[in-house]
Amino acid sequence: MNVWLGAALALMVGGLGPALLVASRGDPLDRLVGLELGGTVTTVVLLLLARGVERPSYVDVALVLAVLTFAGTLVFTRYLGRSL
Amino acid sequence: MSPVDAVAATLVAAGALVLAASSLALLVVRDTRARLHLVGPPAVVGAPLVVLGLAVDEGPSRAALKLLLVGAVVAVSGPLLTTATAYALRRHREDA
């Protein structure tokens, strides 16, 4: 357990927790905001975890997640803007 | 702790603070339009600060470049997502 893993843990609790809470209840667009924040926080958590376990190759996971969060959330915004 | 370690730790701590504060503010702010304000700073300020700290800790190398690339992707996507969500919110509210 080093500093990086500790920071990742703190971010998971303080960052992902509220984002997941907001993403699980309420209006669809409120949930989308929770999803966006959750995606950003998860990317950073993955970067910190990659540094914490000292595996530089795990940064690729964070890169893929950053790109997919971006594309996926845009798909949701188009869908929510049209229907409902 | 060397100066480089101190700088890296400060940058990462600052970025993590911005991320956690924006996320916790989601619980306080209730209005959807106001919540949109909370999506930008983590992506544009928080994540790049953490990435910069990690890159400083890594030193000049290809690994640091990859980290900076991840930070750039997140920083570019943040404002775009905010705007797209705002458009969807306006259309959603018009239909409702």
ipTM of the complex: 0.91
CA distance B54 to B76: 19
What average pLDDT does chain A have? 93
Shortest distance, CA B49 to any CA of chain A (angstroms): 10
Which residue in A11, A62, A74 is closest to B16 by CB distance? A11
What's the pLDDT at B93?
76
Shortest distance, CA A24 to any CA of chain B (angstroms): 13
Which residue in A30, A41, A66 is closest to B42 by CB distance? A41
Q: Over range B65-81, report the average pLDDT.
A: 95
State pLDDT tens for residues B26-50: 999 989 889 999 999 999 999 999 9
User: B-chain residues within 8 Å CB-CB of A67?
Assistant: 73
Rounded (10°) CA dihedral B42, B74, A4, A45: 80
In chain A, what percentage of residues exceed pLDDT 70?
98
Closest residue in chain A to residue B36, using alpha carbons only: A33
Closest residue in chain A to residue B39, using alpha carbons only: A37
User: B-chain residues within 8 Å CB-CB of A43?
Assistant: 47, 70, 74
pLDDT at B61 over 80: yes
What's the pLDDT at A83?
66
**What confidence tier does B95 reach under pLDDT thresholds 50, 70, 90?**
low
What's the pLDDT at B81?
94
CA distance B38 to B16: 14
Which residue in B23, B77, B80 is closest to A18 by CB distance? B23
Which residue in A51, A67, A69 is closest to B54 by CB distance? A51
CA distance A14 to A74: 25
- Residue A26 dihedral angles phi and psi, to the nearest 5°: 105, -165
Element containing residue B35 per DSSP (H, E)? helix B32-35
